[in-house]
Amino acid sequence: MILHIDMDAFFASIEQAINPRLKGRPLIVGSRANRLHTVVCAASYEAKAKGIDSGMPTTEAFKICPDLEFVAADQGRYIWTSEQIFQLLEGYGFGAVYASIDEFQMDIGSHPDPKNLAEDIRKQIQKTFNVTASIGVAKNWLLAKLASKLNKPNGIAILTAENLEEVLRVVPVAKLCGVGAKTQAMLEALEIKTCLDLYRKPPQFLEQIFSQNGLNLYLSLHSIDCFGLNQQEEKPKSIGHSYTLSRASENTGFIQGWLRLLSEMVARRLRQKNMAAATIHLWLSGPEMPGFGAQKTYSEPTNDGYEIYQKAVKIMARIDPKTPKIRALGVTASSLSQIRYPPLFNNQKRREDLLKAIDHINSRQGEWAIYPATIALAQPKK
């Protein structure tokens, strides 16, 4: 069984936890401090109820709700909280993995009481960080992720062999991860409107309609996942982070700001394991492109977030000179190697010393006190 933890309105919830005055208020988190010249990074549930969500220009958000509360994003704080939640989950001994900055997964095997385990995790997260999480449990990651959406916020849903079809019968197919607007339209044209309709289709049918993607979708729905994590294994094959925006965006600055954030998260984990990566993989998805994935291998491995970010941007440039609408993105480092020798050149040593100093300061301060300005300054072009 896979247990999927999805944080509720993560960035906005952290801001509300820090400032009680914001509790219960419609709140948006902007990608930079200028409240009228930025985009919504995150919205509280109170703001979402008014039709406001991430990717929306703040000017549009304030037209919908003039009395919105606004705070500038503190990405370092969000990264630190994500890492602390990850450490809490690791303490359960099942081998947690990141699904994105605000989503985590655990392979709990044949745990005798998954509901009690999920409830304990949910309570511990709320008690420790004063934010809530919704949790889904199912036989594979795709269904577990779907289950985590069913009782949001602060809820638990468990899909078993006994209740699976009953639950899927009332869930629209659009709620399934990977089903965008175009795929949804194609499925509905085939009278596939619910997740159960899709679940019951044979693999040959889906492969005929969607080629390999259709077969992959069938396997993702019907597989019984096992991460195969060895708790003694200290050498991962890859390290990655991804994020799904609530709303597709074609704003170059906004997308590149997210790429920089994900690159820094990957780099920090590489440095924590004293590893470097030679291969950088970028994955993008949006309403006009079901999925773009490309990678490049370099002769010199790196664990520098800026270098990883630059390589990801170069890969992104292969798509089109104009940024397409992006809904989800991910950065993964692979071809990993252990760092055994100090840098040979002075400029490399200075850069390594700087990264070590930043890691040291951030660790001592308890959150990311220092982080790249690019992350906070992403804004739409005029």
> Judging by DSSP bridges, how do beta strands 275-286 and 289-302 pair with one another?
antiparallel
* Neighbouring-strand partners of residue 158: 137
Q: Which of 103, 166, 234, 288 is catalytic?
A: 103
CA distances from 299 to 117, 251, 276, 283, 342 (A): 45, 32, 12, 21, 17
> Judging by DSSP bridges, how do beta strands 27-30 and 69-72 pair with one another?
parallel
Work out whether the CA dihedral 193, 199, 202, 207 comes out positive or negative: positive
Q: Which residues of 176-186 are buried (b: 16+ CB within 10 A; e: fewer)?
A: beebbeebbee
Contact 330, 283 (CB under 8 A): yes
Contact 307, 315 (CB under 8 A): no
Secondary structure class of 228 (helix, strand, coil) = coil
* Neighbouring-strand partners of residue 244: 328
Triad 106, 108, 109: Cα angle to 5°:
135
CA distances from 228 to 313, 350, 379 (A): 32, 39, 41
Catalytic residue flag (residue 69) = no
Contact 147, 6 (CB under 8 A): no
Q: Say which residue the tokens 């939640």 belong to.
A: 85
Catalytic site positions: 103
